[in-house]
A and B are shown apart, each in its own frame.
Chain A
Amino acid sequence: MPRLSDTMESGTIVRWNVKEGDAVKSGMVVADIETDKATMEMPVFDDGKILKLLVPAGQQVKVGTQIALILEDGESLDGAQAATSAGAPNASAAGRPSQSASANTFVSANSSTRGASSVEPIDAQAEEILQADGARVRVSPVARRIAEQERVDLGSLKGSGPGGRIIKRDVMNALENRGSNPAAKTTDAPRTGAMSTSTSQSSATPHVAASSSLAVPVSPTPRSNGLVVAGLQSTEVAVSSMRQIIAKRLVESKTTIPHYQVTMKFELDRLMALREKLNSELASMGIKLSVNDFIVRGCALSMAKHPYINASWAGEKILMHQQVNVGVAVALDEEKGGGLLVAVIRDVDRKSLRAISSETKTLSEKARSRGLSMEDMSDSTFTVSNLGMFGVENFTAIINPPNSAILACGAALKQPVVRDDQLTIGYEMTATLSLDHRVIDGAMAARWLNTLKGLLENPASLLV
């Protein structure tokens, strides 16, 4: 019984489409199998003749159980009969089919052909790897580890160590040869659980040529856990160290910090007007203030009344930060693999809009051209992420540890709004604050947002 979904533990034969004695060809659907998810068609991967159907329609069996025997061309009956008579759990007497005299079964190669240890239950050696001739493969620990990481099929290698042990050198050689013949070396071939007994079957699937060192072809066929995925083709891209850090930090943040979100709308008519006026008057000085600059300053000024937003959870205590250092999320070019850095503007509560603006610009450019130094990225106490320039209306952000809050800002959009009980057109921005509930409760968050709202909606206060 092949594993047809990653959570499948047993399957029911809904219907056999063949009977004993029928000839089958590779790809032919021989049965319908009901899994925990759906009823799926089960093809065979080998040409031959159905010798025996071991599990009748309607019966449910565990993954890995023999369900039928196929005789390949030129194979005789004796080996197969021995296999059947020995009972489902093992077929020790049969040896491996390649010697001509045994059946090709619908069972994983390792459980059907385990060889000498006939009294052991299947599960005990479920992970054992067999060579093409059925012999147990001996592998040095480091060779096994590298093979797993690089997905080298150990069963296809010939060990050069004592007693045929596969050693590091053998795996490294296989990896080197992979470029010229990728399919043969990776674990394309089902090691367990699927019906093929030959690696050449799966290598018939088209592969993307490994043109760059970053992209190596990934087999669309089963992985070593026996999971069958129909026809999904992907390209592997090496993960940059920045992305590794993003992955690690954000998983850590999202899994260890009790996040919740509070959203508020901000009327930005006056701010937009003020910004336009300032920018036109200051254009000659090369100053162009962004909406984000106003928001960053507004956030920093709001901390004075609500110090808990500018704090960190530190296990047994909460650290209330004396400085207000605002991190500004900077997205890197997608063509270069994307990525995200947080540039930190220090002491924002004591800086003018102009200083905030020029520092943000400098750091963003530096981030995109040559990257930021540790100093440029450390000691933030709060973070602002802004997708307004993409026209995003609203989104939520993941807290940037050790911060306790991050503000996700959408665009200032022209919208139908209600002002003084009149429907009119105005600028409105939606922003969502993500918070660490260990430090900040909902009402505290709401009060901070109200303070920010007061500042952004009366923007003169941001100038002085």
Chain B
Amino acid sequence: MSATQEIEFRDAIRDAMSEEMRRDKRVMLIGEEVAEYNGAYKVSRGMLDEFGPRRVIDTPISESGFAGMAIGAAMLGLRPVVEFMSWSFSLVAADPILNNAPKMLFMSGGQFGCPIVFRGNDGAGGQLGSTHSWCVEGLFSNVPGIKIVIPSTPADAKALMKTAIRDDDPVFFMESERLLGMKGDVPVGDDVLLKFGQACVRRTGTDCTLASWGRPVHFCMEAAEELAKEGISCEVIDLRTIRPLDIGSIERSVRKTSNLVIVDQSWSFGSPGSEVAAQIHQRCFDDLDNHVHRVHTEDVPAPYAFNLEQEYLPNTRKICEAVRSATYNA
């Protein structure tokens, strides 16, 4: 393992983009306030200075327009990174990102690919109200042709972003506003990449498997710590990407623990969580000691009030309750 340095999540993403832009002239960044303002969330600090306005491009507030433009650029050979200030705002660009990008290779009979990365904040940022608190993986994971990356640590964010930029297919890269300031050790150097579809065991345990991705992984770690005091040993699996989905790692863990709790901050109906549950029920039926439990965001629009929003989201308390129930310790 090479040396590491402690940096913020946002800078890990910036470093990944900058390194790839130095490496490959076709890579560019486009979005609202990514250039002059250094990013609405300061993810692209210093990039305009280094790469200039032809490769770091500010756009008007017109997601459908700049997403479509970037898709065209990708079809003709560039490798754009498109920043959505929030994935909530990507919904106005649904047609280009869902109806064009992921189908282009298929519809053109292999003539045009679409090597593009869409990135931005996903999930509740904290009191942003119903329309700006989207967790879009529930919607988007339903679409074939899209790769979906949802990292939980700065190191993963950097390594997966580099893989995303080098990938020949559209990659939806989902960050969390609540994690951008998180610091973590990130390997130094240009060449650390992570393959998609490889989950990571964050904590080993014997009684119950907790599977999650993105920010809720941290809630799972807190819950596992608390449950350990009660004598319940949890194994925490961070999926890192949900398409491709590393179901094999969850399967292996469930064969050991016989119990699975999925923590997914999207709504429960037709979600990645329900897909994982279905696949595990199919693959591990004879290994399960209880049905798969799921902790999701409540099935209502996001409330604004702080206390209500906390109750609305998956949280440590809910995870603990689900694990106790799954392991018959309720």
Report A's interface with B, CB cutoff 8 A.
140-145, 160-162, 167-169
Is B287 in contact with A141, judged by CB distance below 8 angstroms? yes
Closest B-chain residue to A159, C-beta based?
B328
Establish whether residues B285 and A160, one from each chain, have CB atoms under 8 Å apart when the complex forms. no
B128 at the interface (CB under 8 A from A): no
Could you give 25 example pairs across A and B, Cβ below 8 Å?
A: A140-B258, A140-B288, A140-B289, A140-B290, A141-B285, A141-B286, A141-B287, A141-B288, A142-B258, A142-B287, A142-B288, A142-B289, A143-B289, A144-B286, A145-B286, A145-B287, A160-B328, A161-B290, A161-B328, A162-B328, A167-B289, A167-B290, A168-B258, A168-B289, A169-B328
Complex: chain A residue closest to B254, CB-CB: A142
- Chain B residues in 8 Å Cβ range of A145: 286-287
Closest to A162 in B: B328
Q: Which residues of B contact A141 (CB under 8 A)?
A: 285-289
Q: How distant is B111 from chain A, measured CB to nearest CB, in Å? A: 37
**In this complex, which of A143, A168, A169 has the most chain B Cβ atoms within 10 angstroms of its Cβ?**
A168
List the 9 shortest-distance A-B pairs measured between CB atoms, nearest first.
A168-B289, A145-B286, A140-B289, A142-B258, A142-B289, A141-B286, A142-B287, A141-B288, A167-B289
**Residues in chain A near residue B289, CB distance under 8 A:** 140-143, 167-169
Chain B proximity of A322: nearest CB distance (Å): 38
- Report the nearest B residue to A169, measured CB to CB: B328
**Complex contacts, B288 vs chain A, CB 8 Å:** 140-142
Which B residues, 120 to 144, have Cβ-Cβ distances below 8 Å to chain A?
none
Proximity string of chain B (286-299) to chain A, C-beta cutoff 8 Å, 1 when within and 0 when not: 11111000000000
A167 surroundings in chain B (CB, below 8 A): 289-290, 328
Distance between B183 CB and nearest chain A CB, rounded to angstroms? 40
List of B residues within 8 angstroms of A161 by Cβ? 290, 328
Docked pose: A145 CA to B284 CA in angstroms? 12
Is the Cβ of A142 less than 8 Å from the Cβ of B286?
A: yes
Chain A residues with Cβ below 8 Å from B286 are 141-142, 144-145
Question: Bound complex: CA of A168 vs CA of B285, how far in Å?
Answer: 13
8 Å CB interface, B273-330 against A = 285-290, 328
Q: Is the interface of A mostly helix, strand, loop or mixed?
A: helix
- Taking the nearest CB of chain A, how far is it from the CB of B289, in angstroms? 4
Kindly report which residue of chain B lies nearest to residue A160, judged by CB atoms.
B328
| Nearest Cβ on chain A to B113's Cβ, whole angstroms | 36
Nearest Cβ distance between residue B316 and chain A, in whole angstroms? 24
CB distance from B52 to the nearest CB of A (A): 59
> What interface size band does chain B fall in?
under 10
B188 to chain A, nearest CB (A): 39
Q: A162 vs B291: C-alpha distance in the bound complex, in angstroms? A: 12
Residues of A within 8 A of B328 (CB): 160-162, 167, 169
Give min CB distance, B199 to chain A, whole Å.
Answer: 22
With A140-B258, A145-B287 known, 5 other A-B pairs at CB within 8 A are A142-B288, A160-B328, A162-B328, A167-B290, A169-B328
* Chain B residues within 8 Å of A169, by CB: 289, 328
Interface residues of B in 245-259 (CB under 8 A from A): 258
What CA separation (Å) do A144 and B258 show in the bound complex? 12
What chain B residues lie within 8 Å of A144 (beta carbons)?
Answer: 286
**Which residues of chain B come closer than 8 Å to A168, judged between CB atoms?**
258, 289
Roughly how many angstroms separate A145 CA and B290 CA in the complex, as a whole number? 13
**Complexed CA–CA distance, A161 and B324 (Å):** 12
CB-based nearest A residue for B330: A162
How far, in Å, is B10 (CB) from chain A's closest CB? Answer: 43
Distance between A169 CB and nearest chain B CB, rounded to angstroms: 7
User: Bound complex: CA of A160 vs CA of B328, how far in Å?
Assistant: 8
Least distance between B118 CB and chain A CB atoms (Å):
40
User: For the complex, what is the distance from the CA of A161 to the CA of B258, rounded to whole Å?
Assistant: 14
**Which one of B287, B289, B290 has the highest number of Cβ atoms from chain A below 10 Å of its Cβ?**
B289
Closest chain-A Cβ to B231's Cβ sits at a distance in Å of 12
Residues of chain B with a CB closer than 8 A to A143's CB? 289
How far, in angstroms, from A448 to B258 measured CA to CA in the complex? 57
A168 and B289 alpha carbons, distance in the complex (Å): 6
Give the docked Cα–Cα distance between A4 and B289 (Å): 35
The distance from the CB of B125 to the nearest CB of chain A, in whole angstroms, is: 38
Cα of A162 to Cα of B324 in the assembled complex, Å: 13
B254-270 CB mask vs A (1 if < 8 Å, else 0) is 00001000000000000
The docked-state distance in angstroms from the alpha carbon of A317 to that of B328 is 56
**A161 CB to nearest B CB, Å:** 5
Chain B residues whose CB sits within 8 angstroms of the CB of A142 once the complex forms: 258, 286-289
Collect the chain B residues with CB atoms within 8 Å of residue A140's CB.
Answer: 258, 288-290
CB distance from B205 to the nearest CB of A (A): 15
Per the bound structure, the CA–CA distance linking A169 and B290 in Å amounts to: 12
Give Cα distance in the complex from A140 to B290, angstroms. 6
- Shortest Cβ gap from A114 to chain B (Å): 25
Q: Which residues of B contact A162 (CB under 8 A)?
A: 328
Complex Cα distance A143/B328, Å?
13
CB neighbours of B258 from chain A (8 A): 140, 142, 168
Chain B residue at minimal CB-CB distance from A170: B328
- A134 to nearest B CB, angstroms? 24
- Min CB distance, A208 to chain B, in Å? 31
How far is B258's CA from A206's CA once the two chains are assembled, in angstroms? Answer: 36
In Å, the complex CA distance between A169 and B206 comes to 13
Alpha-carbon gap, A168 to B328, bound state (A): 10
CB distance from A257 to the nearest CB of B (A): 32
Give the interface centre of A141, A160, A162 by most chain B CB atoms within 10 Å.
A141
In the bound complex, residues from chain A placing their C-beta under 8 Å from that of B290 are: 140, 161, 167
B285: chain A residues within 8 A (beta carbon):
141
How far apart are the CA atoms of A167 and B289 in the complex, in Å? 6
Instruction: Give Cα A162–Cα B288 distance, bound, in whole angstroms.
Output: 15
Nearest Cβ on chain A to B301's Cβ, whole angstroms: 32
- For the complex, what is the distance from the CA of A143 to the CA of B290, rounded to whole Å? 10
Determine the residue in chain A with the shortest Cβ distance to B255: A142
In the complex, how many angstroms separate the beta carbon of A141 from the nearest chain B beta carbon? 5
CB interface residues, B 192-215, toward A, < 8 Å: none
Q: How far is the CB of B278 from chain A (nearest CB, A)?
A: 15
Question: In the complex, A297 Cα to B235 Cα: how many Å?
Answer: 57
Give the distance to chain A from B326, nearest Cβ to Cβ, in Å.
Answer: 11
A141 to B289, CA, bound (A): 6
Instruction: Indicate the member of A140, A144, A162 with the most B CB atoms within 10 Å.
Output: A140
User: B235 to chain A: closest CB distance in Å?
Assistant: 16
